[in-house]
Chain A
């Protein structure tokens, strides 16, 4: 029995599988966001009020999840004792067992290694939309150092945006899960994001991180199929990810 065995799949089936995989991660994130919101509910919260290390360790060592990073990133000036603050743990999900390590990120705005994270999409998009987001695939040089998908959603303090909680999933891990289903699709199949960047693909022309050029990506995302074109498109419900298959 190989991973590729089973009945044939269509692009819609693959889109549903991607949505299911992401829904599982977002359900965990909802729990984490609630926990952080409770910890921030005190009068002028400080760094010491955050207590999510145990929870993040559990998630990072869960062999069913295989997440590569987990934590919280605070909005500026929410905490009384640090203008910028993040608590993030990383682990190699393929190690047995994965060993979580605290990310040593520079949070002093005066230092050279400091990067104002409020401009980065995994923070900026949930801030702008108030909703969950999947960033990537991108090279995450602040954290995993590898091609990564980052899942983030807002944390609220008394109803106001106070930062994001998030997970990193290595694209490699995502590919592991999607290779089987992709092989069961007749013809070529690729998972892409809203920019037309390839997450994973069974078409040898494209690999992770490539931009699909010359195809009507914007039109697909705007809801239009191209009836005469060589590709069909399915948006994954509620996600900035979609699936294309060759006709």
Chain B
């Protein structure tokens, strides 16, 4: 199927299915990644089923299905009765197993495509921000870059990384690019952030962020774009290295 649709090129892309996964899968993935990344602390209660349904804009039965999948993956446990509900179970391996599983399902081409997409968005945001950011925007970006430098713990660092790029998109004054950045973060955040952590890379994203803000502050759009491109390329090269290890069986 994939081959024949590729042969049809752009025409096929127009009629490609909009949502590859069901909604329950999407909810399970979003929650599962938040748990794996440590964003939802171990032992903390999840909101009620109806509350979750409200937040995600899906039916309660969809949430129930998603919670069932999470329970099977041992990412939550559920207690009945008074004081009951679903509680977060942080995986002991720091999410390695989940990351490996995700990478095993992905081809290298798919990974490159994802990197291209994210590069396009991040680089355009950087370029436009250099043209449109005012002094307050620059100050806010600087604060966010600096706060990313101070944190070493996983969740806080990812939060800083995510917030920086979101603020960058907003400084570009583009609502569409901002929405796209948000959607991409929820799709590739875990991949980028966990791979980066596994690589044990000491060059923190915060250094890259500071470089980027310097270009934006002086209104150098070309340099801002290049800086964003190499920042994203670095993050994805950590993912590719890990992907290789997984696919060659050196990591499981």
Contact status B170-A141, CB under 8 Å: yes
Q: Which of B37, B41, B134, B175 contacts A147 (CB 8 A)?
A: B175
**Contacting residues, chain B, for A138 (C-beta < 8 A):** 170, 173
CB of B135 closer than 8 Å to a CB of A:
yes
- Is A139's CB within 8 Å of the partner chain B? yes
**Would A139 and B174 count as touching, CB distance under 8 A?**
yes
Question: Which of A30-38, A113-121, A149-157 binds B?
Answer: A113-121
Q: Find the A residue at minimum CB distance from B172.
A: A139
Complex contact A196–B37 (CB within 8 A): no
Bound together, the chains give a CA A114 to CA B166 distance in angstroms of 12
Taking CB atoms, residues of chain A closer than 8 Å to B34 are 111-112
The CA-CA distance from A114 to B182 in the complex, in Å, is 14
Residue contact B169 to A114, C-beta cutoff 8 Å:
no
A189-204 interface with B by 8 A CB criterion: 195-197
Q: Give the CA-CA distance A76 to B219 in the complex, in Å.
A: 35
B150 at the interface (CB under 8 A from A): no
Contact: B178 with A211, CB < 8 Å?
A: no
A115 and B163 in contact (CB under 8 A), knowing A110-B41, A121-B136? yes
CB-based contact A112/B39 at 8 Å: yes
Q: Whose C-beta in chain A lies nearest to the C-beta of B163?
A: A115
Q: Which of A152-197 contact B (CB under 8 A)?
A: 195-197
Report how far A22 CA is from B174 CA in the complex, Å.
25
Determine if B244 is an interface residue (Cβ-Cβ < 8 Å).
no
A106 shortest CB reach to chain B, Å: 10
Most buried by B among A104, A139, A145, A211: A139
Scoring B residues 52 to 72 as 1 if CB is less than 8 Å from chain A, else 0, what string do you get?
001100000000000000000
B132 and A211 within 8 A (CB): yes
B162 on the A face (CB < 8 A) = yes
* B122-159 contacts to A (CB < 8 Å): 131-132, 134-136, 140, 143, 155, 158-159
The yes or no answer to A209 lying at the interface (CB within 8 A) is yes
Whether the Cβ atoms of B39 and A111 lie closer than 8 Å is yes
B239 at the A interface (CB under 8 A): no
In angstroms, how far is the closest chain A Cβ from the Cβ of B191? 15
Q: In which size bucket is the chain B interface? A: 20 to 34
**With an 8 A cutoff between CB atoms, is B89 at the interface?**
no
Q: Which of A145, A146, A195 is close to B134, meaning CB atoms less than 8 Å apart?
A: A195
CB of A108 to closest CB in B, whole Å: 9
Residue interface mask B168-190, A partner, CB < 8 A = 1: 01101111001100100000010
What's the nearest-Cβ distance from chain B to residue A37, in Å? 29
Which B residues, 90 to 120, have Cβ-Cβ distances below 8 Å to chain A?
none
Q: Which residues of A sit under 8 angstroms from B169, Cβ to Cβ?
A: 139, 141
How far apart are the CA atoms of A115 and B182 in the complex, in Å?
14
Name the distance in Å between A83's Cβ and chain B's nearest Cβ.
15
- Distance in angstroms between the alpha carbons of A104 and B162 in the assembled complex: 18
Question: Is there contact, CB below 8 Å, between B143 and A112?
Answer: no
Instruction: Check if A111 sits within 8 Å of B134, measured CB to CB.
Output: no
Question: What 0/1 pattern do residues 129 to 149 of A give for CB contact below 8 A with B?
Answer: 000000001110100011100
Q: Report the Cα distance A145→B166, complex, angstroms.
A: 12
A28 within 8 A of B: no
Judged by a CB distance under 8 angstroms, whether A81 is at the interface is no
Q: Within 8 Å CB of B163, what residues of A?
A: 115
* 20 pairs, CB–CB < 8 Å, chain A vs chain B: A104-B54, A110-B155, A111-B39, A112-B189, A114-B159, A115-B163, A119-B140, A138-B173, A139-B169, A139-B172, A139-B175, A139-B178, A141-B166, A141-B178, A141-B182, A145-B178, A147-B173, A209-B173, A211-B132, A211-B134
Q: Which 10 pairs, one residue from A and one from B, show the smallest C-beta to C-beta distance?
A: A209-B173, A195-B134, A112-B39, A139-B170, A104-B55, A141-B178, A146-B175, A139-B178, A139-B175, A112-B159
Task: List the interface of chain B (C-beta within 8 A of A).
Answer: 34, 37, 39-41, 54-55, 131-132, 134-136, 140, 143, 155, 158-159, 162-163, 166, 169-170, 172-175, 178-179, 182, 189
Q: Known pairs A139-B172, A139-B173, A147-B173; list 11 more (Cβ under 8 Å).
A: A111-B34, A111-B39, A111-B40, A112-B189, A119-B143, A137-B173, A138-B170, A141-B166, A141-B178, A141-B182, A147-B175
